[in-house]
Amino acid sequence: MSGSMRLTDDAIRTALSLPADLRAPADLVDGIMTAVAAAPQRRSSWLGWRPSRRRRLVLQMAVAIGLLALAASAALLLIGGRHAPPAPSPTTTTYHGGPARDGVNPGPGPSGTPRIAWATDAKGPFGSWSPLVSGGVVYAGDQNGFVTALDELTGKVLWQQDLHASDNSGLTLANGLIVAGDDAGFVHALDAATGQERWWYKALGPVHSVAVAWDGLVIDASLGGDLVALDVVTGRRVWSAGTAGPVSRAIAEVDGTVFTGSGGATPSTPGTLAAWDAATGRRHWATRVDPGNTTSVTVSGGRVFVGEGLDLSTADVHHIEAFDATSGARLWPAPFAAPTGKGLLIGAAAGGSVYTTATDGNLYVLDAATGAVQWPASISSTQSPNGAIADGVLFIASDDRLIHAFDIASHAPLWQVAVRGVPGAPAVVDGRIFVATSAGQIVCLVGG
Q: How confident is the model at residue 270 (pLDDT cuts 50, 70, 90)?
A: confident
Using the 3D structure, point to which of 83, 108, 141 is the last residue of a domain: 83
pLDDT score for 88:
43
| Mean residue pLDDT across the chain | 84
Give tens-digit pLDDT for 64-79: 554 444 444 444 333 3
Burial label, 201 (beta-carbon count in 10 A; 0-12, 13-18, 19+): buried
Q: Which residues contact 14 (CB under 8 A, 6 or more apart)?
A: none
pLDDT score for 444:
98
70 and 107 co-located in one domain: no
Q: What's the mean pLDDT in 99-113?
A: 96
- 407-411 long-range contacts, Cβ below 8 Å, gap at least 24? 408/351, 408/353, 411/365, 411/375, 411/377
* Residue 82 clears pLDDT 90, i.e. is over it: no
What is the DSSP code string of 314-326?
-GGG-EEEEEETT
Q: Is the peptide bond before 108 cis (omega within 30 degrees of 0)?
A: yes
Q: What's the mean pLDDT in 86-96?
A: 73
Q: What percent of the chain clears pLDDT 70, i.e. is strictly above it?
A: 79
pLDDT score for 386:
81
Asked if residue 3 belongs to a domain, the reply is no
Using the 3D structure, point to which of 83, 109, 139 is the last residue of a domain: 83
pLDDT score for 55:
52
Give tens-digit pLDDT for 228-268: 999 999 999 999 999 999 999 999 999 999 999 998 767 77
pLDDT score for 47:
37
* Residue 303 clears pLDDT 80, i.e. is over it: yes
Looking at per-residue confidence, does 444 or 316 come out higher?
Answer: 444
pLDDT score for 237:
98
62 and 176 co-located in one domain: no
pLDDT score for 269:
80
What are the backbone dihedrals phi and psi of residue 290, each rounded to the nearest 5 degrees, phi first?
A: -60, 160
Q: Which residues contact 135 (CB under 8 A, 6 or more apart)?
A: 89, 91, 192
99 and 147 co-located in one domain: yes
Residue 350 half-sphere exposure toward CB, CA atoms < 13 A: 22
Q: Which residues contact 348 (CB under 8 A, 6 or more apart)?
A: 96, 97, 102, 103, 104, 298, 354, 355, 387, 388, 389, 394
- Of 234, 211, 209, 236, residue with least CA distance to 222: 209
Using the 3D structure, point to which of 58, 83, 108 is the last residue of a domain: 83
* Residue 63 clears pLDDT 80, i.e. is over it: no
Give tens-digit pLDDT for 15-38: 444 444 444 444 444 454 444 445
Give tens-digit pLDDT for 147-175: 999 999 999 999 999 999 999 999 999 99
Asked if residue 90 belongs to a domain, the reply is no
Residue 136 half-sphere exposure toward CB, CA atoms < 13 A: 6
32 and 112 co-located in one domain: no
138 and 60 co-located in one domain: no
Amino acid at 193: A
Asked if residue 73 belongs to a domain, the reply is yes
Give the chain's domain count.
2
Asked if residue 88 belongs to a domain, the reply is no
Asked if residue 200 belongs to a domain, the reply is yes
pLDDT score for 310:
87
430 and 398 co-located in one domain: yes
Domain that holds residue 19: 9-83
- Of 303, 304, 335, 333, residue with least CA distance to 317: 335
What are the backbone dihedrals phi and psi of residue 80, each rounded to the nearest 5 degrees, phi first?
A: -60, -40
- Of 247, 250, 249, residue with least CA distance to 262: 247
* Prediction pTM value: 0.80
293 and 343 co-located in one domain: yes
Asked if residue 89 belongs to a domain, the reply is no
Mean pLDDT is lowest, of 222-226, 280-284, 384-388, 432-436, for 384-388
pLDDT score for 89:
56
Asked if residue 1 belongs to a domain, the reply is no
46 and 72 co-located in one domain: yes
116 and 190 co-located in one domain: yes
Q: Are 271 and 291 in contact (CB under 8 A)?
A: yes
Give tens-digit pLDDT for 324-345: 999 999 999 999 999 888 889 9
Which CATH number goes with the domain that contains 421? Answer: 2.130.10.10
Asked if residue 15 belongs to a domain, the reply is yes
Q: What percent of the chain clears pLDDT 90, i.e. is strictly above it?
A: 68
pLDDT score for 32:
42
221 and 155 co-located in one domain: yes
Burial label, 152 (beta-carbon count in 10 A; 0-12, 13-18, 19+): buried
pLDDT score for 29:
41
pLDDT score for 33:
44
308 and 171 co-located in one domain: yes
- Of 236, 237, 243, residue with least CA distance to 258: 243
Q: Are 250 and 210 in contact (CB under 8 A)?
A: yes
* Residue 142 clears pLDDT 70, i.e. is over it: yes
- CA 77 from chain centre, in angstroms, equals 32
178 and 41 co-located in one domain: no
